[in-house]
A = this chain, B = another copy of it.
């Protein structure tokens, strides 16, 4: 095929990404490569850039194909940590270790199906140096399952912030925010059926909460919930250190 288009035309712009290497300094939050809307080659290219500059690359929504390529390409220079439920990966240069910020984050889910998003949030909190405490499948259809793990997190582990993950009716974050004196981030998930079952019902219910101190992120945005929680927890931790 006489396709000279690729070399002479629209594609003469070889710069497809301008990774924001200073973000981790400027914001205290590492950039995460959302692989979902990118080709495998694009994701690999950007991962390579981050690994070179920062010694770490974090990727979310990783396809089977991309996962295999990550394993293969970076075997020599980095460890690959794989989070199967979240389908997320952390590449870390050999010899590098995760810092410890002192921040403390609690994560609750309403159901089993919400766990992938909870793990996504946990991952980013940990990469920001936080300790994460989790309790899964404690939703409002059986309230008696909630009280003990919640009290444990708040009073014994003294978390600085809570992420509450829920799909379907999205009621758990409101119930939790009504009970404890800790900022709560509601993370709605696309677990549901029928009208509003793409996470809209859960998101709207959280936005309409009658409990004070509940803020939200978009449906299935585990990374965003984790980044916000990490920032809050690390700020409190920094103040604790004085």
Contacts and interface: CB of A to CB of B under 8 A. Distances in A.
Nearest to A170: B205
A203 interface: yes
A205 B29 contact: no
Contact of A136 (B15, B141, B231): B15
B84 A211 contact: no
A59 to B, nearest CB: 13
Contacts of A122: 10
B204 A221 contact: no
Contacts of A196: 204-205, 207-208, 218
B203 A142 contact: no
Nearest to A209: B169
A50 B118 CA distance: 25
A164 interface: no
B228 A213 contact: yes
A38 B218 contact: no
Interface string A1-20: 11111100111010111101
Q: How many copies are assembled? A: 8
Which of A37, A110, A220 neighbours the largest number of chain B CB atoms within 10 Å of its CB?
A: A37
A161 B9 CA distance: 20
A41 to B, nearest CB: 11
A165 interface: no
A105 interface: no
Interface string A22-38: 11001111010000111
24 contacts: A1-B75, A3-B71, A6-B84, A9-B123, A11-B83, A11-B84, A17-B136, A18-B138, A28-B181, A31-B212, A37-B113, A37-B167, A37-B191, A140-B210, A141-B178, A141-B212, A171-B171, A171-B175, A195-B199, A195-B219, A196-B208, A212-B223, A213-B228, A240-B242
> What 6 pairs across the A-B complex have the smallest Cβ distances?
A194-B219, A5-B81, A194-B218, A171-B171, A201-B204, A239-B239
